[in-house]
Amino acid sequence: MPVTRIATLLKDGQPDTSVVAKGWVRTRRDSKNHFSFIELNDGSCLRNLQVVLPGSLPGYAAMLRDVQTGASVSVEGILQESPGRGQRIELHASSLTVLGTADPATFPLQKKGHSLEFLREIAHLRPRTNTFGAVARVRNCISRSIHNFFQSRGFLYINTPIITTSDCEGAGEMFQVTTLDLARLALMQTQIDWKRDFFGKPASLTVSGQLEAETFATSVGDCYTFGPTFRAENSNTTRHLAEFWMIEPEMPFYELNDNMDLAETFIRTLVSDVVTQCDEDMQFFSERISPGVLQTLENIRSHEFVRLSYTEAIGLLQQSGRQFDYPVEWGRDLQSEHERFLTEEHFRQPVILFDYPRAIKPFYMRCNDDGRTVRAMDVLVPGVGEIIGGSQREERLDVLLSRIVECGMNPDDYWWYADLRKYGTVPHSGFGLGLERAVLLITGMTNIRDVIPFPRTPGHASF
């Protein structure tokens, strides 16, 4: 008989039908009246299937030795209406096979209620907990919703390279990729000859697929990337990863306002989709992890985002009467404490800041006529701070080239990017959403290490 997943059984399973369920034992309770209850979970949903194991089953006593928390089992039986509270149906076993045992003396999830910090040390087992199962399902829902959002609008999904020789953000935070024998070169103390490296020049892991996406936006039209992104920034915070996933739409003929409109609709749609499609998991987050999360999401769904220039934001922060750790001064980048003040305390809803000082933004952003600012935009949300960064792109060849030089970069390295301005240039815009930051916002989880399966942060890449 084929296996039915527990989510399907709990939703659609009919009494008096024969089924097979397979999964992992969460708990077992033995009744004095010679039968046992097993809470069985297969990860398809938060809830467990209650299995009733009658003492009359052949080998019952021996079975109890192995049916322990963490063991994997296959159960065949008949669904019945459950007299107990908390479930509509339960499975009355007619046979049970233990597929794999789990020694209660050593199984790390034997007891409930481990800290998130402890669970980070056992990243290979934490998906078997309620929290990490729910995070995995919500993350999946967000990914599906992202593809649906763009696919339904006719955007092409573009795969940009992971290995690259250009630094998109110009911040020098790249992981180098090399096949040179560094230990030997260090011993020889010779100058490195990059021509002898695999690509004949220094190469790195990408910090963004944007520059490559622009080549497709200016040929096939609206497009987006969705892939792994790497940053060697030494920030040990709850919002930064060395390896994260970014979604980067890029649109020809969009100016900054069109870009902001798309970003706002995008975030709203993701939130709506998860709230309607992951009802049970979201109830769990709201009850166990972050009591205000559903209210925050409802607020995002039902209100327009505030839009404010960087200059206005600086004024607001200066007049707030608030003592910040980092100074608030025109020309300085906003720190997370400033962003969170704006979105969590002042406006209490998402805020889009635009027109940032050109000196703190990358070379590709379109220069405003004031000579001081660029057409940048950042979307800030409660609990997280910056979730999206984007801009209108500089489409004027001469301005772009002088900005590359101004940023201390070599125009020769960006000849192909400049070509897009030389041949049929158009106004265009785009932005990047950090997937993990979206998962933080939507689940109310507070550490980014807990919303990606295997987090990579400074000093941590064990498995």
Cβ–Cβ under 8 Å, residues 134 and 293: no
Considering Cα of 347, then 350, then 355, then 358, what sign does the dihedral take?
A: positive
Strand runs (DSSP E) across 279-436, as ranges?
306-309, 351-357, 373-381, 385-392, 428-434
Q: Which of 13, 350, 389, 434 binds Mg ion (CB under 5 A)?
A: 389
Report d(CA 146, CA 453) in Å as an integer: 19
Q: Which of 26, 137, 240, 268 binds ligand 4AD (CB under 6 A)?
A: 240
Report d(CA 96, CA 204) in Å as an integer: 52
Q: Is residue 390 within the footprint of ligand 4AD (CB under 6 A)? A: yes
Q: Is residue 387 within the footprint of ligand 4AD (CB under 6 A)? A: yes
Angle at 411 between CA 214 and CA 394, to 5 degrees: 40
Stretch that binds ligand 4AD, among 6-14, 106-114, 347-355, 388-396 (CB under 6 A): 388-396
Stretch that binds Mg ion, among 84-92, 190-198, 287-295, 384-392 (CB under 5 A): 384-392
Report d(CA 126, CA 140) in Å as an integer: 17
Q: Is residue 139 within the footprint of ligand 4AD (CB under 6 A)? A: no
Q: Is residue 70 within the footprint of Mg ion (CB under 5 A)? A: no
| Nearer to ligand 4AD (CB atom), residue 233 or residue 337 | 233
Q: Under rule CB under 6 A, which residues in 151-190 are in contact with ligand 4AD?
A: 168-169
Strand runs (DSSP E) across 344-384, as ranges?
351-357, 373-381
Q: 108: which 2 tokens?
A: 């790390």
Residue of 416, 173, 375, 136 lying closest to 257 (CA atoms): 375
Q: Which of 241, 289, 293, 377 binds ligand 4AD (CB under 6 A)?
A: 241
| Nearer to Mg ion (CB atom), residue 9 or residue 380 | 380
CB of 188 to ligand 4AD, least distance (A): 35
Q: Is residue 385 within the footprint of Mg ion (CB under 5 A)? A: no
| Cβ-proximal residue to Mg ion, closest one | 389
| Cβ-proximal residue to ligand 4AD, closest one | 389
Report d(CA 136, CA 102) in Å as an integer: 23
State the greatest distance between any 2 C-alpha atoms of the chain, in Å, as a whole number: 85
- SS3 call for 145: helix
Q: Is residue 437 within the footprint of ligand 4AD (CB under 6 A)? A: yes
CB of 250 to ligand 4AD, least distance (A): 7
Q: Which of 36, 160, 206, 208 binds ligand 4AD (CB under 6 A)?
A: 208
Report d(CA 155, CA 223) in Å as an integer: 5
Interaction mask 295-334, ligand 4AD, x per CB under 6 A: ----------------------------------------
Q: Under rule CB under 6 A, which residues in 347-386 are in contact with ligand 4AD?
A: 386
For residue 218, which phi and psi values (nearest 5 degrees)? -95, 25
Which partner, ligand 4AD, Mg ion, none, binds residue 385 by CB below 5 to 8 Å per kind?
A: none
| Nearer to ligand 4AD (CB atom), residue 26 or residue 231 | 231
Residue of 274, 295, 255 lying closest to 435 (CA atoms): 274
Residue of 435, 439, 395 lying closest to 419 (CA atoms): 395
Report d(CA 180, CA 194) in Å as an integer: 9
Rg of the Cα atoms in the chain? 27
- SS3 call for 177: strand
CB of 389 to Mg ion, least distance (A): 3
| Nearer to Mg ion (CB atom), residue 46 or residue 168 | 168
Interaction mask 407-436, ligand 4AD, x per CB under 6 A: -----------------------xxx-x-x
For residue 277, CA distances in Å to 23, 43, 189 come to: 23, 16, 59
Q: Which of 25, 67, 246, 374 binds ligand 4AD (CB under 6 A)?
A: 246
Question: Which residue bears the tokens 């990914």?
Answer: 143
| Nearer to ligand 4AD (CB atom), residue 90 or residue 222 | 222
Residues of this chain that bind Mg ion (CB under 5 A) = 389
Residues of this chain that bind ligand 4AD (CB under 6 A) = 168-169, 208, 210, 231, 233, 240-241, 244, 246, 248, 386-391, 430-432, 434, 436-437
